[in-house]
Structure 1
Amino acid sequence: MSATRRSGKTTQFSMAPSTRSLSRATGVAAAIAGALFIAVQIGHPAMDVSLVTTTDWAVRSAAKALMAALALAGITGMYLRQVRQAGILGFLGYVLFAVGYLSMLSVEIVAAAVLPALAHTAPGYVADVLAVAFGGIASHGIGAMQTVFVVSSVGYLAGGCLFGIALFRARVLARWASALLAAGTVATLALAVLPESFNRPLAVPTGVALIGLGISLWRAQPAQSDDDTTSPSAEYAAAQ
């Protein structure tokens, strides 16, 4: 930070981004994550070992990994924007949801970088991983991937529901999108009894919710903008 004295006044210049700009950036990240979450569902082929080595698989897996990273940034911005209003429920929801997205990011990195290499040498393992990923049962053990899938599912379902409820109660961001986030994540539980064809459509509500919350976060005004906050050092320098 540098200071320049002109006409008895001190003007300070800071290279650090403002709270408002960071909040807006996370809002954009959430909106993009929601759009990607919807986009990767369009025309998604059936999950099969033969798909793992295709360009389609690589592109979709990379897009899902990017989506998870952007969603993590987005929900972090949402939580920090209303940390006081969200309370303990918001904290618990955020932590669980963040763990869910971190696990999802790990899964997609493995899907993009590891599974294609194993598709020819260990097709049985790959088939078991795909089966467990969509709620099936593996014929053989899949090691730590089983734990990652469980953590991802619990974090996404429980975290999304609690976080959505906390956002709805906080009344800072769009309440319709908050309610849709809670309902959309919980709705995936229905996949246990619904045909696999419902897997893709049931992801759309959560994507729409992330887009709505991201736009709402981008438009929301901080309680006190950085431009209106004067540090004690700046007050002292201006008084000299």
Structure 2
Amino acid sequence: MTTINGLLRASGVVLCAGAVLSAAASLGESHVDPTTINPAMTAVGTAGVVGGLLVLLGLPGWYAVQATRAGRLGAVAFVMVFLGWAGLEVTTRPLFTYVAPALYARPGNADLAAPGALDSVSTGYLSYVGSLLIALNLGLLLFGIAMIRARVFPRPLSAVIAVGPLAVFFSGPVEHEAIAVLMLAIAACGLLVATGRVRPSHADVLVAVGA
């Protein structure tokens, strides 16, 4: 049990660190030019790539501490979130961070720098990104609902996870800020796991300490 608790706490640290980096990257993206190769864009993009990878590594622990109480809904939602996050943050984000700016700079490619233009170049790629976005956002919505039902994490955090995708979708000009708030809520969940505030019981039933 000690080994399991240690692994879960480590996953909490990784999840918290990755979510904080992702939140900072989201806020930074609104202040850099993503269409050119520049140090600010590279720094923000790298923070997003590293943060996304760390969150991906921490997701299993986040799910594990509430798997029993989250039930089938939580399991299905976790798979959707994991696949969506892996596809968007670990494979697609590096493309837009490191490859796209160089592509925009090539003669005749200026039109690709318009928002959404690169995504629409290939119907297959557009479908790929669209399916991942649906999986991630719907998965987070369902995962938040499962968290509320499980009552392992504080309800305010669970509610933010549930409504976060909707807030991002309808936020418009403050989309980056909405994403940052969602990521900070995930970071808070990671912190609770890392500090042992949320851990598995000796009966192998996952509970919130002090609940």
| Structures share fold, TM-score greater than 0.5 | yes
- Say if 1:172 and 1:57 are closer, same or farther in 2 by CA, change over 3 A: same
Which runs of 4 or more aligned residues in structure 1 lie more than 4 Å from their structure 2 counterparts after TM superposition? Answer: 137-140
Q: Let me know the Cα RMSD of the aligned residues.
A: 2.5
- Say if 1:85 and 1:140 are closer, same or farther in 2 by CA, change over 3 A: closer
Q: Identify the residue that residue 7 of structure 1 maps to in structure 2.
A: none
Structure index of larger Rg? 1
Asked if the contact 1:174–1:212 (Cα under 8 Å) also holds between the matched residues in 2, the reply is no
- Say if 1:114 and 1:143 are closer, same or farther in 2 by CA, change over 3 A: farther
Q: Identify the residue that residue 82 of structure 1 maps to in structure 2.
A: 66
Name whichever structure is richer in helix by fraction.
Answer: 2
Is 1:179–2:182 an aligned residue pair?
A: no
Q: Identify the residue that residue 18 of structure 2 maps to in structure 1.
A: 33
Query: Gaps (5+ residues) in structure 1?
Result: 1-16, 227-240
- Say if 1:68 and 1:48 are closer, same or farther in 2 by CA, change over 3 A: closer
The residue identity in structure 1 corresponding to 2:177 is P
Question: Displacement, 1:65?
Answer: 1.4
Q: Identify the residue that residue 186 of structure 2 maps to in structure 1.
A: 210
Q: Please, what TM-score do these two structures have when normalized by structure 1?
A: 0.73
Q: Please, what TM-score do these two structures have when normalized by structure 2?
A: 0.82
Q: Identify the residue that residue 166 of structure 1 maps to in structure 2.
A: 146
Query: Gaps (5+ residues) in structure 2?
Result: 205-211
Question: Displacement, 1:76?
Answer: 1.2
Is 1:100–2:84 an aligned residue pair?
A: yes
Task: State the distance in 2 between where 1:140 and 1:221 align.
Answer: 44
Q: Identify the residue that residue 127 of structure 1 maps to in structure 2.
A: 113
For each residue in 1:40-87, what CA deviation from the matched residue of structure 2 results, as whole angstroms up to 9, or x when unmatched? 23343265523xx11222222221111221222222112122222111
For each residue in 1:196-227, what CA deviation from the matched residue of structure 2 results, as whole angstroms up to 9, or x when unmatched? x312221122122112211122222321299x
Task: State the distance in 2 between where 1:49 and 1:26 align.
Answer: 35
The residue identity in structure 1 corresponding to 2:202 is Q
Q: Identify the residue that residue 31 of structure 2 maps to in structure 1.
A: 45
Count of equivalent residues = 198
Task: State the distance in 2 between where 1:155 and 1:25 align.
Answer: 26
Is 1:190–2:175 an aligned residue pair?
A: no
Asked if the contact 1:99–1:151 (Cα under 8 Å) also holds between the matched residues in 2, the reply is no
